[in-house]
Amino acid sequence: MAVSGEYAAYVIEQLALVARITSRRMFGGVGLYADGLFFGLISDDTLYLKVDDCNRPEFERRRCNPFIPFPDKPEASMSYFDVPADVLEDAEELTRWARGSLAVALRAASKKTKPRAKKKNAKSKAK
């Protein structure tokens, strides 16, 4: 999961059109954040972006691979796919892909913050 400083700096530079990108070292890789949203990661000098049903088809069309944190457990993939080299090298195209991943992160965050309906307990039903 090693990440070279040069590769991380290059990725962040390529993402400059997206937003103010911050990075944080984590488990040998680097997490990428925009406005506090975790939308991408770098592992083994490979950029991965967050996916869901809205943007996954584009990654699959390009035959991108899912991020697998444990090589001995390939079934434990995460909702991140690698970015094709030609997309990484084109800052404008990478911006489009990254904004899609930011939208995924925003949707995921909003699901976590939605208030849940309270279940009535047995005592309140008895009244």
Look up residue 66 and give its DSSP letter.
B
For the chain, domain boundaries = 5-126
Look up residue 55 and give its DSSP letter.
T
Reported as a single tens digit per residue, the pLDDT across 40-51 is 999 999 999 999
Q: What is the reported pLDDT for 16? A: 93
Integer angstrom CA distances of residue 58 from 87, 99, 109: 12, 13, 22
Q: What is the reported pLDDT for 74? A: 63
Using a cut of 0.85, tell me whether the model's pTM lies above it. Answer: no
Q: What is the reported pLDDT for 19? A: 82
For domain 5-126, give the CATH number. Answer: 3.30.1460.30
Look up residue 59 and give its DSSP letter.
H
Question: Rounded CA gap, 110 and 86, in Å?
Answer: 32
Reported as a single tens digit per residue, the pLDDT across 47-92 is 999 999 999 999 999 999 999 877 777 666 679 999 999 999 999 9
Reported as a single tens digit per residue, the pLDDT across 87-122 is 999 999 999 999 999 999 999 888 877 565 555 555
Question: Rounded CA gap, 119 and 78, in Å?
Answer: 32
Q: What is the mean pLDDT of residues 20-33?
A: 91
